[in-house]
Structure 1
């Protein structure tokens, strides 16, 4: 988790060095997060998954970084501890998708 803490600190410093927190509210950060995720998705339009990755990997890295940066900023603005919520969600998913029922299957938990 120390890497996550260090990255969070770097993202917040970048923001604070530019005095951008004044523009960051939950709604606008969520909107920006969605837009960046859509830009990542757009790289797959009209291509197979393999073709998209082969042709756009560098762009994908940039878009994924934007998504993660906005997620960090959203978490900071709302007081959400990323490490804790990720661990909590993994626990919830483990209950919904037990290994013995979900291994190798793509079914939603309601169909297992």
Structure 2
């Protein structure tokens, strides 16, 4: 929500206070939608102030609207929290070890790193 608000304020010079009710309704709509389901979606701000989620393959709207593609914003959030792409949808790892420790270049490197961590913990 914050990324969308900043985008509208900074890039389009839209006064956010006038759209408070629309943002509240959008927040309720987004709470019931999974993060992965938002990928590939567009968000349309209509002149009436209401928001509508649109699929990428949805027909163009017949009335005026400001369209925001969500994928670039979702990518920033996804990368910051190590969340999966749409292609990787399914069960999430509790801890993403490559994200925490960086990928090992070879299995021997990974084994050496695991042993050094074990030594530090036992010390």
- TM-score, normalised to structure 1, is 0.27
Taking structure 2 as the reference length, the TM-score comes to 0.26
Greater share of residues in strand: 2
- The structure whose residues are more often helix, as a share, is 1
Tell me: higher relative CO, structure 1 or 2? Use CA pairs within 8 A at least 6 residues apart. 1
